[in-house]
Amino acid sequence: MKYKYILFDADDTLFDFRLAEEKVIKKSLDYFNISYVDNIVDNFRKINKELWKKYELGEITKENLQVTRFKRLFETLSVDEDPDNFNDYYLEQLASESILINGAEEICRVLSKKYVLAIVTNGIKSMQEQRFNKSTIKQYISNIFISSDIGYQKPQKEFFKYVFEKLEVNDKNSVLIVGDSLSSDIKGGNNVGIETCWFNRYNFTNDKDVKVTYEIKNLYELINLL
């Protein structure tokens, strides 16, 4: 057996973050009496993605990211609303949405019989923990590693070195990371010399300077791959 440890990203790898996100954005807008307009979810995702890239590069803090994304969104809508209050409500609702990607529970159940499974995430601590604790995959996951607990984030080497130490990894060749993000999951794997599996549900093009060991379109492919 080549691998002993499988590191899973959380959002859009095991958890269907896009589905939960759209649902909660609409719910939050309604709660704050802000009119829903076309493309608002897409606009938010564009802003959010840009800020998360900056977080991965260490250019902004996670706290700054959380508030700035809604501040910018409200500016595009010409809405006068407190982004702090909106973010608090948004995160509270998002934490309650423990929606799994199709196949995630079965894959974790099957793989946990042969491998040590762990989650590695840059996500927001309170949301990740609450959602994870509510999920049906909790029983199959040995550890959840959150960047804010570690003090480093994917794709930084220090993040993965911490994970390896806690899991008592002696051979990096025994570790595989599975994730949807080229810039954090796959690049992070490259940075520490472990093999990678890109979960490419939406048929994106690899336009990054990263090496992908495997590419899958759905989680069930992992069974045959491993």
Q: Tens digits of per-residue pLDDT, 137-161?
A: 999 999 999 999 999 999 999 999 9
Examine the pLDDT at 51 and tell me if it is beyond 90: yes
Domains identified in the chain, total number: 2
Taking residue 80's Cβ as centre, other Cβ atoms within 10 Å add up to 6
> What confidence category does residue 208 fall into, taking pLDDT thresholds of 50, 70 and 90?
confident
Structural contact between residues 68 and 84, judged by C-beta atoms closer than 8 angstroms: no
If you ran DSSP here, which 8-state letter would residue 182 be given? I
Structural contact between residues 182 and 208, judged by C-beta atoms closer than 8 angstroms: yes
Residue 180: active-site member: no
Report how far residue 22's alpha carbon sits from residue 28's, in angstroms, rounded to the nearest whole number. 10
Report how far residue 185's alpha carbon sits from residue 212's, in angstroms, rounded to the nearest whole number. 10
Examine the pLDDT at 178 and tell me if it is beyond 80: yes
Question: Which of 67, 95, 123 lies at the terminal end of a domain, its last residue?
Answer: 95
Examine the pLDDT at 3 and tell me if it is beyond 90: yes
> Residue 150 belongs to what domain range?
5-16+100-225
Structural contact between residues 118 and 141, judged by C-beta atoms closer than 8 angstroms: yes
Examine the pLDDT at 45 and tell me if it is beyond 90: yes
Examine the pLDDT at 133 and tell me if it is beyond 90: yes
Structural contact between residues 122 and 56, judged by C-beta atoms closer than 8 angstroms: yes
Q: Do 122 and 198 have their domain in common?
A: yes
Active-site choice (9, 11, 16, 180): 9
